[in-house]
Chain A
């Protein structure tokens, strides 16, 4: 933990012990460097936004945290478990929603959630109540016995979210979790994440392209660009770093990722 640069280290890390420590990881695909020397941490009860343009390395970083990819350099610890050495223990603590959830579409929603409950060892008595709560809260009740192949994109996203939350994970890794959700469901999820963080001390690593959402719910933000951390801190700190006091996160983001002046692009597109 101590080797993390202060800007990317959670302020509460020292006191509470972090849930997630990503330290100097790098990952390449052939000649393409997807992630280069990325470090950050997530403290209990903290929602950390991971932002960046397309291809910045967000999904690669998240997959590495899950142990789905192995960084060539660096280490990742989830509640003290080294993901490379003790991946199973780390995965037990994580709830994950991938960018494009691939579900088993030949199962019904209920069967899928039963399946995931078995994978995480959730006993029958516990799962019943939790699944019903989530289905009702996200307005999926009544659809659970239909095949997932017949679900809309938003319904699939809801199933993916429920399956990530069922086993009471202490760390949530959510890659674009609000994709396809209707406004009510999106609001429920945002409030739920905030509640889980403040009441249960769940840590959340949250990736999104919707900067208003990031600004509204994230405690801190890490901005990646071309595989590197270009800025990290609270929205206020990022404003200060970009020299844009009083601006919205969108302006700050564009300035920090070097994509600020879009006038020429818009003019060209209008032709």
Chain B
């Protein structure tokens, strides 16, 4: 293994991360240098240490009070390091476009697989190391203050090992998902479902990691189930620090050595997987003749032209085949899961009003996201649409249907689920579906108006379909619009007598007025979009 080559390759991979954010990135800017992460780590480490030291001196807290804090927090640094890199890295893998997730070049450059895996892992570890560095710096200040310098040194070192362990695991996910991602047909569909599930699990894991109640339970659980977790390699770093803090140096060194050994095993496995699944473009060949025909009978029945129906069908294919679209598609599921995690059932005090408003918001927000991303997700292939004889209003109609249809489907599914799980009654469930549909339509139009004007067609590792500032504006104003429609509608839904009718009429009037305004704005946007190709 040529470590110089590893360093150079890691440097290039970090540079691609740093500079991928903006097409106008100035490669000479200090902020766009690969060293920014390294300097950032050092800055946060020493900054955290300095601030922590100053704060401790200012507060003059007795060391005896802070000792338990150090003993409770430092052991979890290695585990937190693994989790941080794993969650960040896997989230990136699941959301990155296939083009950027691939690493074909390393296959034809004179680079050994283990060199590539190590370099790529170093780049991943460095990318997600900043929060760990900050935490380490702050904990170091407290540890030195209470005289536990050796403990934090061990914890910090093993946190570094943890970062690498997480990065090697990310490399394994990368190799296997690249291989799986290149298949089509049944295997491809299974892969997509698995990816969607993985994404939901990762997002829920993120919720849990940052949930104090869960963390506290974990701390207690680790003490209780220590005998079991001692057999789980990702915990070995934590056990080494725990053993050191208990004064058992030999056990501590044993766990530390085992942790380093585990990182070595992960590197070996990641390298083997890389060698095994090096190809990112294994085409699957089938020899049955394809039947060419103009189809889309349902879409044609809705009044769409063949070209419009073809664009909608193409977008539907994109939703289920493009890995970068997955985060959008799993959004309604994730939002529902959050309801369960946070226990926002009507009996929890969140109330039926809250449940209805929140779930209506979830499904209509889905429409907003699909609409705002609908034009930018065309990427440079939008040239095909520009060169074809399609008028702007046709593209507008097609994109509207492509955004609204999944949002309405989500409205129905969520409405039924809320009706069944929260026992809100048939009338409320049906009302929820109708108001979600109206709000989804409103914000889909709103999102399309932004998409037509501010889409970003650049190829990036993390796709950015709309430019950042308009994305924030569209999201903020879109959420506001949803509430403007949904809150009076929900109030009407949960009222009785004349108030219910008045509220319903008011909500419908507000919704339809916004529809009329947004329709014109969006349509004009599409006419402007077709004036000249935007790249």
Which residues of A (69-123) have their CB < 8 Å from a CB of B? 69-70, 88-89, 91-92, 94, 96, 98, 100, 102-108, 110-111, 113-121, 123
Q: Does A146 contact B (CB under 8 A)?
A: yes
Set of chain B residues within 8 Å of A28, measured between Cβ atoms? none
Interchain CB contact under 8 A, B284 and A121? no
**Per-residue contact bits, chain B 168-194, to A (CB 8 Å; 1 contact, 0 not):** 000000000000001010001000000
**Per-residue contact bits, chain B 207-232, to A (CB 8 Å; 1 contact, 0 not):** 00000000000000000000000000
Set of chain B residues within 8 Å of A100, measured between Cβ atoms? 380
Interchain CB contact under 8 A, A128 and B322? no
Interchain CB contact under 8 A, A146 and B294? no
Rounded to whole angstroms, the CA-CA distance of A142 and B310 in the bound complex is 23
Interchain CB contact under 8 A, A106 and B285? no
Rounded to whole angstroms, the CA-CA distance of A68 and B285 in the bound complex is 35
Set of chain A residues within 8 Å of B380, measured between Cβ atoms? 100, 102
Nearest A residue to B457, CB-CB? A102
Q: How far is the CB of A100 from chain B (nearest CB, A)?
A: 8
Q: Does B421 contact A (CB under 8 A)?
A: no
Which residues of B (360-412) have their CB < 8 Å from a CB of A? 379-381, 383-391
Interchain CB contact under 8 A, B383 and A89? no
Rounded to whole angstroms, the CA-CA distance of A218 and B135 in the bound complex is 69
Rounded to whole angstroms, the CA-CA distance of A146 and B182 in the bound complex is 10
Size of interface on B: residues with Cβ below 8 Å to A: 45
Rounded to whole angstroms, the CA-CA distance of A145 and B287 in the bound complex is 8
**Per-residue contact bits, chain B 74-99, to A (CB 8 Å; 1 contact, 0 not):** 00000000000000000000000010
Interchain CB contact under 8 A, A113 and B292? yes
Interchain CB contact under 8 A, B283 and A114? no
Q: Which of A68, A107, A116, A118 is the one whose CB lies under 8 Å from B383?
A: A68
Q: Which of B156-164, B313-321, B341-349, B509-517 contacts A (4 or more CB under 8 A)?
A: B313-321
Set of chain A residues within 8 Å of B322, measured between Cβ atoms? 106
Nearest A residue to B323, CB-CB? A106
Rounded to whole angstroms, the CA-CA distance of A92 and B287 in the bound complex is 33
Nearest A residue to B319, CB-CB? A106
Known: A91-B389, A119-B310. A98 touches B383 (CB 8 A): yes
Set of chain A residues within 8 Å of B313, measured between Cβ atoms? 115
Set of chain A residues within 8 Å of B291, measured between Cβ atoms? 128
Set of chain B residues within 8 Å of A150, measured between Cβ atoms? 182, 184, 281-284
Q: Which of B317, B379, B381, B385 is the one whose CB lies under 8 Å from A111?
A: B317
Interchain CB contact under 8 A, B387 and A68? yes
Q: Does A143 contact B (CB under 8 A)?
A: yes
Q: Does B306 contact A (CB under 8 A)?
A: yes
Known: A114-B292, A124-B293. A146 touches B284 (CB 8 A): yes
Interchain CB contact under 8 A, A68 and B532? yes
Which residues of A (128-154) have their CB < 8 Å from a CB of B? 128, 131-132, 142-147, 149-151
Q: Does A209 contact B (CB under 8 A)?
A: no
Size of interface on A: residues with Cβ below 8 Å to B: 48
Known: A102-B381, A106-B322, A107-B314. A88 touches B292 (CB 8 A): no
Q: Does B290 contact A (CB under 8 A)?
A: yes
Q: Does A190 contact B (CB under 8 A)?
A: no
Interchain CB contact under 8 A, A147 and B383? no
Q: What number of A-B contacts does a CB cutoff of 8 Å give?
A: 130
Rounded to whole angstroms, the CA-CA distance of A101 and B306 in the bound complex is 23
Set of chain A residues within 8 Å of B317, measured between Cβ atoms? 104, 106-107, 111
Interchain CB contact under 8 A, B379 and A102? yes
Set of chain B residues within 8 Å of A149, measured between Cβ atoms? 98, 182, 281
Set of chain A residues within 8 Å of B188, measured between Cβ atoms? 147
Q: Does A127 contact B (CB under 8 A)?
A: yes
Q: Does B533 contact A (CB under 8 A)?
A: yes
Q: Does B286 contact A (CB under 8 A)?
A: yes
Interchain CB contact under 8 A, B388 and A120? yes
Set of chain B residues within 8 Å of A124, measured between Cβ atoms? 292-294
Set of chain B residues within 8 Å of A114, measured between Cβ atoms? 292-294, 310
Q: How far is the CB of B351 from chain A (nearest CB, A)?
A: 43
Q: Does B28 contact A (CB under 8 A)?
A: no
Interchain CB contact under 8 A, A145 and B290? yes
Rounded to whole angstroms, the CA-CA distance of A151 and B283 in the bound complex is 7
Interchain CB contact under 8 A, A94 and B387? yes
**Per-residue contact bits, chain A 21-39, to B (CB 8 Å; 1 contact, 0 not):** 0000000000000000000
Rounded to whole angstroms, the CA-CA distance of A63 and B390 in the bound complex is 16
Rounded to whole angstroms, the CA-CA distance of A114 and B290 in the bound complex is 10
Q: Does A66 contact B (CB under 8 A)?
A: yes
**Per-residue contact bits, chain A 198-210, to B (CB 8 Å; 1 contact, 0 not):** 0000000000000
Q: Does B531 contact A (CB under 8 A)?
A: yes
Q: How far is the CB of A112 from chain B (nearest CB, A)?
A: 9
Set of chain A residues within 8 Å of B318, measured between Cβ atoms? 104, 106
Q: Does B307 contact A (CB under 8 A)?
A: yes
Set of chain B residues within 8 Å of A144, measured between Cβ atoms? 290
Rounded to whole angstroms, the CA-CA distance of A100 and B380 in the bound complex is 10
Nearest A residue to B291, CB-CB? A128
Nearest A residue to B296, CB-CB? A118
Q: Does B2 contact A (CB under 8 A)?
A: no
Known: A124-B293, A145-B288, A149-B281. A70 touches B387 (CB 8 A): no
Rounded to whole angstroms, the CA-CA distance of A145 and B385 in the bound complex is 22
Set of chain A residues within 8 Å of B292, measured between Cβ atoms? 110, 113-114, 117, 124, 127-128, 131-132
Q: Which of A91, A103, A118, A128 is the one whose CB lies under 8 Å from B381?
A: A103
Interchain CB contact under 8 A, A115 and B310? yes
Known: A66-B386, A91-B389, A102-B381. A143 touches B314 (CB 8 A): no
Q: Does B518 contact A (CB under 8 A)?
A: no
Rounded to whole angstroms, the CA-CA distance of A117 and B383 in the bound complex is 16
Q: How far is the CB of A86 from chain B (nearest CB, A)?
A: 10
Set of chain B residues within 8 Å of A128, measured between Cβ atoms? 291-293
Rounded to whole angstroms, the CA-CA distance of A72 and B448 in the bound complex is 28
Interchain CB contact under 8 A, B307 and A121? yes
Q: Does B132 contact A (CB under 8 A)?
A: no
Rounded to whole angstroms, the CA-CA distance of A110 and B177 in the bound complex is 25
Set of chain B residues within 8 Å of A113, measured between Cβ atoms? 292
Rounded to whole angstroms, the CA-CA distance of A90 and B278 in the bound complex is 46
Q: Does B267 contact A (CB under 8 A)?
A: no
Q: List 16 A-B contacts (CB under 8 A).
A: A88-B389, A89-B389, A102-B380, A104-B314, A104-B318, A111-B317, A116-B388, A118-B294, A118-B307, A120-B389, A127-B293, A144-B290, A145-B184, A146-B286, A149-B98, A151-B283
Q: Which 9 A-B pairs have the closest CB atoms?
A: A150-B283, A118-B310, A102-B380, A110-B290, A68-B533, A106-B321, A119-B388, A91-B389, A124-B293
Sample of 14 further A-B pairs with CB below 8 A, known A91-B387, A118-B307, A124-B294: A63-B533, A69-B533, A88-B389, A88-B390, A102-B381, A103-B384, A106-B318, A106-B322, A111-B314, A119-B390, A121-B306, A132-B292, A147-B188, A147-B321
